[in-house]
Amino acid sequence: MMTRVLSEMLSSSSGRDKIVRTISYASLCVSGLGSEDRSWVKKMEIVSTQLNNFRTVSRLFDDLAMLKCSITYGLGREEKDKILRILGIMGNIVDQLYFPLEHIAWASDNKLISLKSGSDSWWLASTICWCTSLYLQLLRSLRMFSNAQKALKNCKGDAQRAAALRANQRSYLLIATQATLDLGHAVHWLPEGILWGGKVSTWKRGVLGTLSSLLGIYTAVKLLNKNKQCD
């Protein structure tokens, strides 16, 4: 069972990224628990850094997929909730901006292009997009949870619909929790003086990222099992 699920996840780019992300953050967490002079700490740091670099390079090919997603969503006319529509459009815009900003920063760091001001401002811009995207995702999931709660009050006597709404609420809470964990990590990379920018220790960032990644894997496995049942 576990081998099958792991194999199916590794066969897709999104599933592979979730597993690599988990290992990367777990390694970061472990490296933050030991003293810097120990060899195993340095090895864990290398593992975390290299896997993170792998994910950065992999995202070089995500622009078109994101663009397709944004075009498909469009102005969100299928959304019945105006607030959800606004949050969806804003989220797509921010996500679309994130990729080229990160690509330029990465290219500068690797001496592929030359920037007079260096890559710092580009990394900062991409980090701001990252934090904004997570915040919008958090707001959107909480709004969907609230809408489901209202719908529950209006479906008395319909046990099947009520069960489906409760299941959706659990999914929205998982998404909100994952976004909160990632936001706790993402804000660390903002300049000092902005919220808790630069103040989160290595092992705490590792814990936040690992928990978020495990939730992502749980959600993916749950979806795989659901699709299997439908087949």
Look at residue 21 in the predicted model and tell me its pLDDT: 96
* pLDDT the model gives residue 159: 84
pLDDT for res 10: 82
What is the Cα 109 distance to its own chain's centre?
Answer: 23
What pLDDT is stored for residue 228 in this prediction? 60
The pLDDT assigned to 1 comes to 61
The model's pTM: 0.91
Round to whole Å and give the CA distance between 113 and 92. Answer: 27
Residues of the chain below pLDDT 50: none
- Provide the pLDDT for residue 19: 93
**For residue 38, what pLDDT is reported?**
81
Tokens of 205: 């960032």
